[in-house]
């Protein structure tokens, strides 16, 4: 599977959003990652559907929406209508996980499950056929700019093994602390989709930063 880079606009200069998105598109970004936080599941509050709608007008790239909110199912319809392409929720924040994954697909979006560092893999086994993407949090959610948790690497390996054993074609995305120094470790462990906030938008040249991350996760590197 081709690797996919998803810059997170959490780290972008929102006063120059369209310019920043244009820069990462020029660098070869595959998706745009949007971190939705509600001040309950995470300490901070970030964005809602108005930002998704704005991004939809700026770019044709898939919008990879990561919901760090309680009861994320409340937003399936609203975010689909706003133009989200991937809707990823946390099982820690909801009860009827399988039902909501089915609803996301029914609404025409890819369905993702995101797992906090402390969340065991077991529940993924129960819904593996219902997911298009598994997002492994490689930091505890809430803020950009944190360091990659080393224990994540083994978790990525175990999820890769589970997906392969079950014949799943779901993407395996990592999110948090992904930089030029950590991306290759995650890729070698089996991740194929990489969220990067600070490493891209904190760089002098975001387009070049995307290109550099890409070179770390190809077989030729
Ligand atoms: C963290 C968010 C991440 C964040 C990553 O809670 O889910 O997507 O934007 O930021 P960096 O790449 O700076 O760790
Ligand atoms: Zn995220």
Q: Does residue 181 surpass a pLDDT of 90?
A: yes
Find the mean pLDDT for residues 31-39. 98
Distance, CA of 10 to CA of 122 (rounded, Å):
30
Q: Are 69 and 96 in contact (CB under 8 A)?
A: no
10 ligand 1 Cβ < 6 A: yes
pLDDT value, residue 220? 63
Over residues 145-177, the pLDDT tens digits come to: 999 999 999 999 999 999 999 999 999 999 999
Q: Does residue 221 surpass a pLDDT of 70?
A: no
Which atom of ligand 1 lies at the shortest distance from residue 8's CA?
Answer: 9
Q: Does residue 97 surpass a pLDDT of 70?
A: yes
Q: What are the DSSP calls for the chain, one per residue?
A: ---EEEEBGGGS-GGGHHHHHHHHHHTT---EEEEEEBSSSSSSB---HHHHHHHHHH--SPEEEEEESSSGGGGHHHHHHHT-SEEEE-GGG-S-HHHHHHHHHHTTSEEEEEE-TTS-THHHHHHGGG-SEEEEESS-TT-SSPPPPTTHHHHHHHHHHHHHHTT---EEEEESS--TTTHHHHHHHT--EEEESHHHHTSS-HHHHHHHHHHHTSTT-
182 ligand 1 Cβ < 6 A: no
Over residues 98-127, the pLDDT tens digits come to: 999 999 999 999 999 999 999 999 999 999
Q: Does residue 218 surpass a pLDDT of 90?
A: no
- Ligand 2: centre distance to CA 62 (Å): 14
pLDDT value, residue 48? 97
- Ligand 2: centre distance to CA 66 (Å): 5
Find the mean pLDDT for residues 169-195. 98
Q: What pTM was computed for the model? A: 0.97
pLDDT value, residue 42? 97
- Selection from 178, 142, 184, 134 nearest residue 159 by Cα: 134
Strands of the sheet containing 4-7, edge to edge, are: 4-7, 193-196, 171-175, 133-137, 110-115, 86-89, 63-68, 32-37
- The residue whose CA is least distant from atom 4 of ligand 1 is 144
Q: How much of the chain, in percent, has pLDDT values that exceed 90?
A: 97
Find the mean pLDDT for residues 79-97. 98
């Amino acid at each position: 599977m081709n690797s996919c880079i998803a810059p997170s606009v959490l780290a972008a200069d929102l006063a120059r959003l369209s310019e920043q998105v244009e820069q990462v598109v020029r660098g070869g970004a595959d998706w745009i990652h949007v971190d939705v936080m509600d001040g309950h599941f995470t300490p901070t509050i970030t964005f809602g559907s108005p930002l998704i709608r704005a991004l939809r007008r700026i770019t044709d790239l898939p919008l990879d929406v990561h919901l760090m909110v309680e009861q994320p199912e409340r937003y399936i319809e609203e975010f689909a209508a706003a133009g989200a392409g991937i809707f990823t929720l946390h099982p820690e924040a909801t009860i009827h996980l399988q039902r909501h994954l089915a609803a996301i697909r029914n609404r025409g979006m890819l369905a993702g499950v995101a797992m906090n560092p402390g969340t065991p893999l077991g529940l993924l086994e129960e819904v593996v056929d219902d997911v298009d993407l598994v997002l492994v949090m490689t930091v505890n959610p809430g803020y950009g700019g944190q360091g990659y948790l080393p224990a994540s690497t083994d978790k990525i390996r175990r999820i890769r093994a589970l997906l392969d054993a079950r014949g799943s074609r779901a993407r395996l995305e990592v999110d948090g602390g992904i930089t030029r120094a950590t991306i290759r470790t995650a890729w070698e462990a089996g991740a194929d989709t990489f969220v990067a906030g600070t490493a891209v938008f904190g760089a002098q040249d975001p387009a070049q930063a995307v290109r550099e991350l890409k070179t770390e996760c190809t077989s030729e590197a």
